[in-house]
Structure 1
């Protein structure tokens, strides 16, 4: 039952349901034919648009799969209070280690061999959180220790201000600061409003 019918006790009177609501007899045949033809064209165009969007998505989709014993990087999510001119959000995902795959669970999940310091983190991950690592003796993998939460996020805090500027927005001026965040390089610094930074971190 449609919400309209549940609320009003009758079917909604639209061109889609002329037969069901008993109003077909009161309309001219030409009107009925034009309405039916318009509805048919709308449905065909909607179906074509959906098919086109699906084909675009399928072209960009890559099916990932790993084998037991493979090593993969694990995606983590650095979090902070504000990002890009006051919009709430997070920085770009990052990847740590690699870790060995111990078991494949179904078609889309994998059990990883996590170190003791990540004992609070569930060791089964969706394939979208993994990136394959191809071993190479010349690679030197090193990273600073990061305190991860059980949901694989960690807090980013501002380390220093790199630049300052004032942005003009119609009839007001907004002081901005370019912040370098902890565990991030200068290249990944972001612009934030000075007011937001003072409210969040002072």
Structure 2
């Protein structure tokens, strides 16, 4: 599928066919042949550019392996979290400055097969009221 069709959902109307849409007769066969030759030349150049970009991308993609202890940490996770990969690179870890009393027990969190969970609010912290012309609207 051509890129123009993918982007806009219709065929590209080139300068050869910028007139009304519908059945047309082309006056000279040379114009069609010249246009098709130009399209073939453009397609060939695009193919060369895509191959060049693909070869550059493939050169840079290589598997990176780290030994545990150098720049990675391996976590001992409970059996409920066996679907989570337990080895982390140092750059993915952040310093935690949370209160020690504000931790959440693993039993309270329901995790599905894709390791997603739904956050539910515990309580309403603040309330405001918005004054309209004749009414007062409570904001939570």
- Do both proteins adopt the same fold according to a TM-score greater than 0.5, normalized to the shorter chain? no
Bigger strand share: 1
Ranked by relative contact order (alpha carbons within 8 Å, sequence separation 6 or more), the top structure is 1
State the TM-score, normalizing by the size of structure 2: 0.41
Bigger helix share: 2
State the TM-score, normalizing by the size of structure 1: 0.30
Q: Answer with 1 or 2: which has the greater Rg.
A: 2
